[in-house]
């Protein structure tokens, strides 16, 4: 019986060694250690042995069983580890293959510029005012100190709907409307919007374009306040190192009127193609609100004063992003639009 | 305005400043210098030559062989100009000379004959053809006999000069004259003025014996001065006068016409010269034209006048259109001996109207339109008389013939120094202010804490205290203004809720893959109402520039489709665009159209393209519908949102829906009609438009948190067999209504129409989620609720459970 046991052990160890995977090994386990296996049979058959041999034989069977079990467990651990390795190898991927694209669109570059300006002025306490694109002659011209017969309001330059109604030529009528609605109270607004002029479309002209204007009215608003405000704007939009300069100009709705240049953001003022070798770039027009404009809207120009400024987002976008033709903004070529996707700075 | 710096220096000391620096100073203090132009354009080796001999080239008919004395030698030059002749003093570019445009002059042989240089026309020296006197327009320029061979020709021609080109704003018409610019430069540099002289000996005869004057339209013509000059000799003007006119952009004609133009440039006062004898009547009557009256002007055009046009007549017929252009019938010609010089003040509005109606703008009309200086009307007439005496040998008759009812009182402006400093945010001293006013030559006085200023009549833009603020500021220097921010009650800025929501709508659509487009509001009348959600009478332009841009749009879709066509034609795989913009509907009470803000979107091409993993999908109706559903969820309206089959002209009749919120139509969605797609050469393209204003203005429930429950939900799936035409939305509505309070969600997860189904039937499968936030549901409760749903589906939609 002992010899039989020894043979079983040898057989089992051989089969364990020969097992190539978890399943085969499990079969071995069942075959030799299972309830119906030969070792269990041997234990069951111990009853036939003389009583004095039973303990010795029992111990022997247990030793064999433990030995076989130990070897099997070790083999099992090895095979499992190999199985995992094999699976990982099988599952490995080419990480350089392209990812599943997340397709998003983006703002039109003009909206990008307008929102940047809006947000800057909102942070300084301004509100955003909007108004109709089809306007009364009164708000577009008369309320802005451009009486009938003024040379700047030629029919040839504007899209008239009737004698008294036209497509607004600037966003200034929103200022006039806001002043009328505020009935003499202080104002701090930014007015963005579409405007229209009777121009042939070419690289630098567009019959439809965008404007953004600002208006502040209050007690003792000074020209120095205008200059300070414009300087904050220039630094925020074009970089902390920007300097501004004001040059005298003329607009019927402001007095004094100025144009603002900024030091060139490309060359810093030494002269390049962007600033046409002058070191300065013209950005916007501004001035102190003309007393006639205040009075027409019911403001006492002796007590209140104000400043206004206006600029073209097209021009700013063209300067900032190097766009050479204004028509790009209205062609909606996806190859153009999609370039304004990423963040700046 | 073109300002010769050499000419300018006659009236004001420019302190020897480099013209570039002078230009910068002028720009910074008020008048923009657009360009600084060097008339010499770097020319060298251009000298006076004397043609000693001129013979035809034996080999070439059109060429002449000239022997030219150029000072240091006499040399042979071949010249092709038709007007070259022996004895002439000419302009010679010697070998080595460089002419404008980089033309280099070298010794050459022309048809076997040596040529050592070139005899030049004015055009070859860089003068625009339109400015060259007619006599020399087709050939070389001939210098006066007094020119010395070998001397540089540039100073003789005024080409050793630098021009400042001024970009004048409409308020600064005072600078439309050399004197006006001199005043400005004098103020900037603190220099005094030197005025031109008007000195001549008067004849014994009186002008008033030669000419009668009457003004019948005093409002349009409050002042008229006429001087009569006898015995003038019409000839070429002296060279200095010709080149000054050319430098100012005026073509020289003859001495009389040139003198009127010269004084115009000098004083800014337009003058006109009539041939006295051709007037015939010894009379000038200024009146409004008769409607339909005709005149042939100096440019040989017959012009028909209107009754609001002012004319100068000889008492019978018009001889000039006042302030705009003279008549051919009274024009000065080579045989003229007696001239009448007109210097007048014509009202700006009248001249503007006439010049516009006649489509005729001149140097004269431009100045009258803006208002000439009343004080220079007589000064200019005297200056012209003096020059006629000097340069045309004329005899100036004593006195002038004058009508003068023009108010020449200067405008008084009273302003306090405090006002000026408060407006500027500065502390400029009274002394500095008065010193600036003195430099500007503004008559002023300081008293009782105020400045009393008489604005000079040449500066018609100075009327109110703010104008003085500007004058002080620009002369003091805008760089000196400090930088401050408005001091006021601090108030938060921000967007209105509408504006904030509109920004979120943009961000959402862009996150969903759409690019923002901006298209034109103006379109053709034909396209203006296409795809419109709502149509109303269209808004059309009075004077459109083209039919394509004549009418305001009532839908954003047509221009977005144009963008799809444009991009598709340029190989774009996917086009996904949206636009937020106004449409223009009918007319409101105020007379303006009703402007409504809309949102539109178009998608075409591939939607998902991740082919290597087998994901590839073209756009379809449900891509765009999903975007709208997501948008309404963002805006808190998903519960009210429904889609209903609809028919819209231009869209696919089976693939179009109207979009409703709470039963109210707010938009449309659909596929572009296949025949429209074919016309535009497009594949399947889907469009949608929403009345954004209505959506954003719609009230929305307050956002309130619902506790997150710890109890589980129970899901039951059902597959229903229904008639093929039965809309899924209808089934979903039945389920939602019949499911009771425990039914929390319904989700359509399968749709099958095909071989395994009975003809005319389809299978639709829903997943229903039951849930009670307070406790775990029992099977019985769920079965009860579920049975009600099944019953309702069977009764209301004839739906059977699929076996």
**Cβ pair A123:B494 closer than 8 A:** no
Query: If you ran DSSP here, which 8-state letter would residue B281 be given?
Result: S
Across B42-48, average pLDDT: 91
Query: pLDDT-derived band of residue A7, with 50, 70 and 90 as boundaries?
Result: confident
Annotated binding residue B461? yes
Contact B519, B529 (CB under 8 A): no
Nearest CB neighbour to B171, from listed A104, A250, A333? A250
A302: left (phi > 0), else alpha (psi -120 to 50), else beta? alpha
Rounded Cα distance, B464 and A301, in Å:
12
Please count the helices (runs of H) and the strands (runs of E) in chain B. 21, 43
**Residues of B in Cβ contact (< 8 Å) with A191:** none
**Residues of B in Cβ contact (< 8 Å) with A247:** 27-28, 32, 478
> What digits encode the pLDDT tens for the residues B191-243?
999 999 889 999 999 999 999 999 999 999 999 999 999 999 999 999 999 99
Query: Any idea which residue has 């409703």 for tokens?
Result: B660
B445 contacts chain A (CB < 8 A): no
Across B711-720, average pLDDT: 93
Token pair recorded at residue B772: 């009670």
Please list the residue range(s) of chain B that carry CATH number 2.40.50.140: 46-156
Determine the CATH number of domain B497-697. Answer: 3.30.930.10
**Residues of B in Cβ contact (< 8 Å) with A231:** 483
**Cβ pair A128:B522 closer than 8 A:** no
Determine the CATH number of domain B411-476. Answer: 3.30.56.10
Query: pLDDT-derived band of residue A271, with 50, 70 and 90 as boundaries?
Result: confident
CA dihedral A260, A266, A269, A273 (to 10 degrees): -90
Q: How far is A287 from chain B (nearest CA, A)?
A: 10
Judge whether residue A42 has pLDDT over 80: no
Q: How far is B494 from chain A (nearest CA, A)?
A: 5
Question: Which of A152, A8, A330, A156 has its CA nearest to residue B517?
Answer: A330
Nearest CB neighbour to B470, from listed A219, A256, A330? A256
Q: β-strands B522-523, B594-610: how paired? A: unpaired
Nearest CB neighbour to B514, from listed A105, A229, A249? A105
What's the mean per-residue pLDDT of chain B? 94
Please list the residue range(s) of chain B that carry CATH number 3.30.56.10: 2-39+162-189, 411-476
Question: Which of A201, A199, A139 has its CA nearest to residue A171?
Answer: A139
Judge whether residue A64 has pLDDT over 80: yes
Q: Helix %, strand %, coil % for chain B, to 5?
A: 30, 30, 40
Which residues share a beta bridge with B79? Answer: B64
Question: What are the residues whose beta carbons fall under 8 Å from the beta carbon of B132, sequence distance 6 or more?
Answer: B121, B122, B123, B141, B246, B251
Nearest CB neighbour to B520, from listed A208, A216, A337? A208
Annotated binding residue A81? no
Chosen from A100, A161, A305 to mutate, greatest number of chain B CBs within 10 A: A161
The mean-pLDDT minimum among A25-29, B14-18, B563-567 falls in A25-29
**Cβ pair B422:A333 closer than 8 A:** no
Nearest CB neighbour to A97, from listed B489, B574, B612? B612
> What digits encode the pLDDT tens for the residues B294-338?
999 999 999 999 999 999 999 999 999 999 999 999 999 999 999
The correct CATH number of B202-404 out of 3.50.40.10, 3.30.70.870, 1.10.3210.10, 3.40.50.2300 is 3.50.40.10
The mean-pLDDT minimum among A64-73, A145-154, B431-440, B718-727 falls in A145-154
**Cβ pair A218:B486 closer than 8 A:** yes
Across B84-106, average pLDDT: 91
Judge whether residue B649 has pLDDT over 90: yes
Rounded Cα distance, B229 and B400, in Å:
10
Q: How far is B466 from chain A (nearest CA, A)?
A: 6
From B490, which residue of chain A is nearest by alpha-carbon distance? A125
Q: What percent of chain B has pLDDT over 90?
A: 88
pLDDT at B292: 94
Question: What are the residues whose beta carbons fall under 8 Å from the beta carbon of B778, sequence distance 6 or more?
Answer: none
**Cβ pair A127:B352 closer than 8 A:** no
Question: Sign of the C-alpha dihedral, residues B220, B224, B228, B232?
Answer: negative
Token pair recorded at residue A323: 């766009």
From B606, which residue of chain A is nearest by alpha-carbon distance? A103
B16 contacts chain A (CB < 8 A): no
Query: If you ran DSSP here, which 8-state letter would residue B546 be given?
Result: -
Token pair recorded at residue B305: 């006048």
Contact B284, B313 (CB under 8 A): yes
Which residues share a beta bridge with B401? Answer: B226
Please list the residue range(s) of chain B that carry CATH number 3.30.70.380: 714-801
Across B129-134, average pLDDT: 93
List the alpha helices (DSSP H) in chain A: 2-18, 22-33, 38-44, 54-91, 109-122, 137-140, 172-182, 223-238, 291-296, 313-321, 328-331, 334-337
pLDDT at B170: 85
Angle of helix A109-122 relative to helix A313-321, nearest 10 degrees?
110
Across B758-762, average pLDDT: 91
CA dihedral B624, B626, B628, B633 (to 10 degrees): -170
Please list the residue range(s) of chain B that carry CATH number 3.30.930.10: 497-697
From B551, which residue of chain A is nearest by alpha-carbon distance? A161
Q: Is the bond into A261 cis (omega within 30 degrees of 0)? A: no
Across B465-482, average pLDDT: 96
Contact B84, B55 (CB under 8 A): no
Hey, what CATH topology would domain B714-801 get? Alpha-Beta Plaits (3.30.70)
Rounded Cα distance, B552 and B542, in Å:
12
Across B391-397, average pLDDT: 95
In chain B, positions 507-536, which contact chain A (CB-CB < 8 Å)? 509-522
Across B250-323, the runs of DSSP E, i.e. the strands, are 271-275, 283-288, 294-296, 302-304, 310-313, 318-321
From A125, which residue of chain B is nearest by alpha-carbon distance? B493
Judge whether residue A175 has pLDDT over 70: yes
Nearest CB neighbour to A291, from listed B466, B578, B613? B466
Task: Tell me the ipTM for this assembly.
Answer: 0.89
Token pair recorded at residue B66: 């000239």
Rounded Cα distance, B316 and A202, in Å:
50
Is the domain spanning B2-39+162-189 CATH 3.60.150.10? The answer is no
**Residues of B in Cβ contact (< 8 Å) with A331:** 563, 566
Q: What percent of chain A has pLDDT over 90?
A: 67
Judge whether residue A98 has pLDDT over 70: yes
pLDDT at A151: 67
pLDDT at B538: 95
Token pair recorded at residue B77: 């030059």
Please count the helices (runs of H) and the strands (runs of E) in chain A. 12, 9
Q: How far is B616 from chain A (nearest CA, A)?
A: 11
pLDDT at B383: 96
Judging by beta carbons within 10 Å of its beta carbon (0-12, 13-18, 19+), is residue B519 exposed, middle or buried? Answer: buried
Rounded Cα distance, B632 and B644, in Å:
16
Across A283-305, average pLDDT: 95
From B470, which residue of chain A is nearest by alpha-carbon distance? A256
The correct CATH number of B46-156 out of 3.30.160.270, 2.40.50.140, 3.40.50.1460, 1.10.260.40 is 2.40.50.140
Token pair recorded at residue A79: 């095979």
**Cβ pair B506:A291 closer than 8 A:** no
Concatenated DSSP letters of B113-136: EEE-SEE--SGGGT--GGGS-GGG
Token pair recorded at residue A167: 């497509």
**Residues of A in Cβ contact (< 8 Å) with B578:** 105
**Cβ pair B481:A122 closer than 8 A:** no
Rounded Cα distance, B485 and A228, in Å:
5
Judge whether residue B266 has pLDDT over 70: yes
């Amino acid at each position: 019986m002992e010899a039989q046991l020894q043979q079983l052990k040898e057989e089992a160890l051989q089969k364990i060694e020969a097992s190539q995977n978890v399943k085969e090994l499990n079969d071995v386990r069942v075959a030799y250690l299972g309830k119906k296996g030969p070792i269990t049979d041997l234990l069951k058959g111990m009853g036939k042995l003389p009583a004095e041999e039973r303990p010795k034989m029992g111990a022997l069977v247990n030793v064999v069983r433990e030995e076989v079990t130990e070897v099997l467990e070790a083999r099992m651990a090895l095979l499992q580890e190999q199985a995992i390795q094999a699976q990982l190898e099988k599952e490995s991927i080419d990480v350089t293959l392209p990812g599943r694209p997340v397709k998003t669109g983006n703002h039109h570059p003009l909206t990008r510029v307008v929102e940047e300006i809006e947000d800057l002025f909102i942070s300084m306490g301004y509100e955003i005012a909007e108004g109709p694109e089809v306007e009364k002659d009164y708000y577009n011209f008369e309320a802005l100190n451009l009486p009938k017969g003024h040379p700047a309001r030629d029919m040839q330059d504007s899209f008239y709907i009737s004698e008294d109604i036209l497509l607004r030529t600037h966003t200034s009528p929103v200022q006039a409307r806001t002043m009328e609605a505020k009935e003499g109270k202080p104002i701090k607004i930014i007015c963005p919007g579409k405007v229209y002029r009777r121009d042939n479309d070419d690289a630098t002209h567009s019959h439809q374009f965008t404007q953004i204007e600002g208006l502040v009215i209050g007690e003792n608003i000074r020209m120095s306040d205008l200059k300070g405000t414009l300087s904050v704007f220039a630094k925020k939009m074009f970089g902390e190192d920007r300097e501004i300069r004001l040059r005298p100009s003329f607009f019927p709705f402001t007095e004094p009127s100025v144009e603002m240049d900024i030091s060139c953001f490309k060359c810093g003022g030494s002269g390049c193609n962007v600033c046409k070798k002058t070191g300065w770039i013209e950005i916007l027009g501004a001035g102190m609100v003309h007393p006639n404009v205040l009075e027409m809207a019911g403001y006492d120009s002796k007590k209140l004063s104000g400043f206004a400024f206006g600029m073209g987002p097209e021009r700013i976008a063209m300067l900032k992003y190097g766009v050479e033709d204004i028509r790009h903004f209205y062609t909606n070529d996806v190859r153009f639009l999609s370039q304004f996707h990423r963040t700046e700075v | 305005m073109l300002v010769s710096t050499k000419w300018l220096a006659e009236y004001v000391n420019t302190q020897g400043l480099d013209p570039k620096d002078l230009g910068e100073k002028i720009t910074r203090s008020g008048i923009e210098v657009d360009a600084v132009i060097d008339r010499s354009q770097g020319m060298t080796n251009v000298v006076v030559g004397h043609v000693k001999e001129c013979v035809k080239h034996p080999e070439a008919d059109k060429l002449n062989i000239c022997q030219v004395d150029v000072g240091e030698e006499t040399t042979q030059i071949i010249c092709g100009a038709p007007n070259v002749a022996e004895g002439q003093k000419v302009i010679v570019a010697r070998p080595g000379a460089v002419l404008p445009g980089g033309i280099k002059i070298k010794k050459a042989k022309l048809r076997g004959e040596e040529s050592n240089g070139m005899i030049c026309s004015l055009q070859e020296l860089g003068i625009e053809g339109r400015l060259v006197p007619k006599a020399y327009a087709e050939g070389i320029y001939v210098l006066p006999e007094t020119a010395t061979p070998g001397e540089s020709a540039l100073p003789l021609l005024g080409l050793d000069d630098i021009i400042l080109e001024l970009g004048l704003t409409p308020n600064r018409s005072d600078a439309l004259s050399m004197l006006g610019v001199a005043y400005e430069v004098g103020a900037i540099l603190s220099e005094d003025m030197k005025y031109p002289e008007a000195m001549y000996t008067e004849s014994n005869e009186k002008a008033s014996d030669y000419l009668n004057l009457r003004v019948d339209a005093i409002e349009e013509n409050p002042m008229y001065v006429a001087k009569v000059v006898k015995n003038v000799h019409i000839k070429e003007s002296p060279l200095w006068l010709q080149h000054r006119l050319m430098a100012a952009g005026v073509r020289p004609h003859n001495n009389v016409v040139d003198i009127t133009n010269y004084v115009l440039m000098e004083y800014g006062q337009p003058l006109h010269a009539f041939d006295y004898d051709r007037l015939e009547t010894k009379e000038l009557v200024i009146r409004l034209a008769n409607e339909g009256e005709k005149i042939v002007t100096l440019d040989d055009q017959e012009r028909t006048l209107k009754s609001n046009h002012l004319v100068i007549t000889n008492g019978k017929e018009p001889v000039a259109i006042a302030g705009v252009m003279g008549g051919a019938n009274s024009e000065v010609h080579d045989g003229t001996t007696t001239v009448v010089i007109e210097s007048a003040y014509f009202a700006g509005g009248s001249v503007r109207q006439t010049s516009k109606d006649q489509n005729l703008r001149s140097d004269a009309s431009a100045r009258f339109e803006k208002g000439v200086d009343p004080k220079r009307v007589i000064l200019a007439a005297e200056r012209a008389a003096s020059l006629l005496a000097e340069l045309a040998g004329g005899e100036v008759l004593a006195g002038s013939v004058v009508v003068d009812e023009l108010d020449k009182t200067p405008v008084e402006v009273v302003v306090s120094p405090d006002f000026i400093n408060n407006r500027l945010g500065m502390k400029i001293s009274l002394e500095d202010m008065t010193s600036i006013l003195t430099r500007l030559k503004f008559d002023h006085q300081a008293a009782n804490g105020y400045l009393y200023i008489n604005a000079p009549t040449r500066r018609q833009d100075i009327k109110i205290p703010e104008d003085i603020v500007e004058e002080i500021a620009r002369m003091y220097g805008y760089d000196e203004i400090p930088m401050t921010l408005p001091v006021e009650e601090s108030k938060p800025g921000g967007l209105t809720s509408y504006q904030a929501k509109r920004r979120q709508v943009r961000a959402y659509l862009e996150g969903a893959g759409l690019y923002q487009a901006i298209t034109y509001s103006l379109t053709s009348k034909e396209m203006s109402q296409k795809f419109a959600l709502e149509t109303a009478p269209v808004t059309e332009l009075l004077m459109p520039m083209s039919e394509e841009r004549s009418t305001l749009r009532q839908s954003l879709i047509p221009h977005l489709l144009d963008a799809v066509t444009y991009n598709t034609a340029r190989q774009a795989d996917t086009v996904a665009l949206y636009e937020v913009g106004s449409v223009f509907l009918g007319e409101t009470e105020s007379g303006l159209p009703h402007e409504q803000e809309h949102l539109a979107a178009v998608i075409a091409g591939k939607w998902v393209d991740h082919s290597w993993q087998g994901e590839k999908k073209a756009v379809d109706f449900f891509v765009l519908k999903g975007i709208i559903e997501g948008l309404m969820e963002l805006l808190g309206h998903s519960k009210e949102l429904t889609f209903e089959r609809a028919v819209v002209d231009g869209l696919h009749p089976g693939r179009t829906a109207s979009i409703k919120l709470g039963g109210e139509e707010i938009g449309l969605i659909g596929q572009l009609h296949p025949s429209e797609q074919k016309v535009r050469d497009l594949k399947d393209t889907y469009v949608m438009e929403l009345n954004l204003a209505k959506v954003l203005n719609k009230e929305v429930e307050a956002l309130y948190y619902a506790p997150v429950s710890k109890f589980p939900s129970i899901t039951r799936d059902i597959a229903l067999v229904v008639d093929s035409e039965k809309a899924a939305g209808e089934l979903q509505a039945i389920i939602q209504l019949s499911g009771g309070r425990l039914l929390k969600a319904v989700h359509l997860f399968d749709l099958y129409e095909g071989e395994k189904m009975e003809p005319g039937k389809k299978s639709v499968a829903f997943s229903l989620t039951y849930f009670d936030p307070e406790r775990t549901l029992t099977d019985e409760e769920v079965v009860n609720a579920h049975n009600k749903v099944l019953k309702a589906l069977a009764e209301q939609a004839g739906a059977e459970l699929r076996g």
